[in-house]
A and B are shown apart, each in its own frame.
Chain A
Amino acid sequence: MKREYEVIIIGGGIIGCATAFELAKRGITDILLIEKRYLTSGATGRCGAGIRQQWGSELNARLALESTHIFEHLEEYTGYGHSCGLHQGGYLLVAYTQKEWDQFQENLKVQHRLGIDSRALTPQEAKQIVPYLNTDGVYGATFCQKDGHADPFHCTQAYAQGAARMGVEFLTYTEVTGLQIQNGQIAGVETTKGPFSARIVLNCANVHAPELARMAGEEIPVTSERHQALVTEPVAPLIDCMVMAFSRSFYVQQTPHGSFVMGIGPREEPSFSFRSTWQFLEQNCAVMCEALPVLRKLNVVRQWAGQYDLSPDRNPIIDEAKQARGFYSICGFSGHGFMVGPRIAILMANHLAGKDDTMDIRMFSKKRYETGKLLLEPAVV
């Protein structure tokens, strides 16, 4: 078994796999990706799968916009033989308070500056897009047709298989148990299948990124928060777009397969729990049936749980360990890692390959929590 690589990536989710692919595309193919279980077994495979450009900060809107351009032809981009399931039915963001409605006007300005085709709608216009929407208490909504959702499993597989064809190796069911550091430089990792050496190690382990970073002497301010979701049986097409509301903290979409995927996002104490709760099942249905009464007839077939890797300003952290140069933590996506993954991977790969990028990677450093240059985002669930 080969023991030396140029780059080791820890974590087989969208961030790890997309970064492996982008590095390989730039000629860095001597890569080993190590995953504790199997690809998409963590947050990526448990996420709500939404892709939206209707953000309130220019940074997120841009990351999502540029990622969407890749999602739009990901199969071709990676040479994948299966559909990645992108459906651009749009996102309808519903405002239930005046404050939220005012914020939406600000968000639209940010989006329009970037050329994102979003628009404000009256409750009646929103109802034309989603006839089943209960407009009681609705102040207005915004809509962007290019928003939508994709299949996280196939998107990740597309990147992984594309990377593998260029020579990237994958080691699943293998856990990283330690880091090798020599003279302030990362030298490799210890795993349950023995040691592997590399001068660059990328920590893409989502909620487990802080414990890996701690082995490199870095404290990453990311905590793990459980979020739950559920899926219904498939039915004929009812709603083409994602319906989402921040103040009522819900999202719901019908997948191309016909099932509805939805979730609500109450804040919880940090935990690594993957357990389902009965309370979520009932409360989620109550919130959703209020907004979209047509859903009452649908049967729930499964609920599950996943984790947000929450950072203090709910935006990504990309940080190189001071005591282990070459060890980068890429985490803190706070629930929107899937939709910005393609662009983050390009940014990371450009940085490591010494190529120019129109984004400055330094703004994602955790130094911002000391300097106060936070990456604030007003539009999150």
Chain B
Amino acid sequence: MENRTDDKNTILCRCEDLTREAILDCIRAGFCTIDEIKRVTRAGMGPCQGRTCRLLIAQELSSYYHIPMEEVLMPTFRPPTRPVSMGVLADAWKEGQSGAAENGGKGGTA
């Protein structure tokens, strides 16, 4: 059976169009964590924020460095959990501000 992981055109980070080979080149050049790879290739910086590629890159690091998956350093997880439009966030701030004014400055942004 064909070993699919040997295919140089396998896409590893879909948002940023990065192949497995591009990630491997980066690992071979000495970048040894997901965060370092992200900074030079943009892997994990797209709309999904690494939801797909994070663990795939971790697997590559794990096999290259012969370390267990749980020892691969994970990047920081940051808000928002999924993309949110700036308009929605801006309106939420204004509602919170007017709500706070109505409550005599004591209200939150609920």
Q: What is A's interface to B at a CB cutoff of 8 Å?
A: 38-41, 45, 82, 153-154, 157, 231-233, 257, 274, 276, 278-279, 281-286, 288-290, 295-304
Residue contact A41 to B85, C-beta cutoff 8 Å: no
Total contacts A-B at CB 8 Å:
87
Whether A296 contacts B90 in the complex (CB less than 8 A), given A282-B96, A282-B109, comes out as yes
Interface size class of B (residues with CB under 8 A): 20 to 34
Residue contact A282 to B89, C-beta cutoff 8 Å: yes
Whether A157 contacts B40 in the complex (CB less than 8 A), given A41-B35, A282-B93, A301-B46, comes out as yes
- Say which one of B5-13, B52-60, B75-83 lies at the interface with A: B75-83
Sample 15 A-B pairs with CB under 8 A, ordered by A number.
A40-B39, A153-B40, A232-B86, A282-B90, A282-B92, A282-B93, A285-B87, A286-B90, A289-B90, A298-B86, A299-B47, A299-B86, A300-B83, A301-B46, A303-B80
Contacts of B49 in A (CB 8 A): 301-302
Residue contact A38 to B36, C-beta cutoff 8 Å: yes
Residue contact A285 to B86, C-beta cutoff 8 Å: yes
Q: How far is the CA of A284 from the CA of B45 in the complex (A)?
A: 20
Q: Which B34-50 residues have a C-beta within 8 angstroms of A?
A: 35-36, 39-40, 42, 45-47, 49
Contacts of A40 in B (CB 8 A): 39
Whether A153 contacts B93 in the complex (CB less than 8 A), given A297-B85, A301-B46, comes out as no
Residue contact A304 to B78, C-beta cutoff 8 Å: yes
Contacts of A154 in B (CB 8 A): 40
Residue contact B47 to A276, C-beta cutoff 8 Å: no
Residue contact A289 to B87, C-beta cutoff 8 Å: yes
- For residue B62, CB closer than 8 A to chain A, the reply is no
Q: How far is the CA of A137 from the CA of B84 in the complex (A)?
A: 28
Residue contact B76 to A274, C-beta cutoff 8 Å: yes
Q: How far is the CA of A332 from the CA of B94 in the complex (A)?
A: 35
Contacts of B84 in A (CB 8 A): 299-300
* A281 and chain B: residue at smallest CB distance: B89
Among B42, B87, B89, B92, the one with the most A-chain Cβ atoms within 10 Å of its Cβ is B89
Whether A296 contacts B109 in the complex (CB less than 8 A), given A276-B78, A302-B78, A303-B79, comes out as no
Contacts of B79 in A (CB 8 A): 276, 278, 281, 302-303
Render B19-42 as a binary contact track against A, CB cut-off 8 A, 1 for contact. 000000000000011011001101
Q: How far is the CA of A149 from the CA of B78 in the complex (A)?
A: 24
Q: How far is the CA of A296 from the CA of B93 in the complex (A)?
A: 13
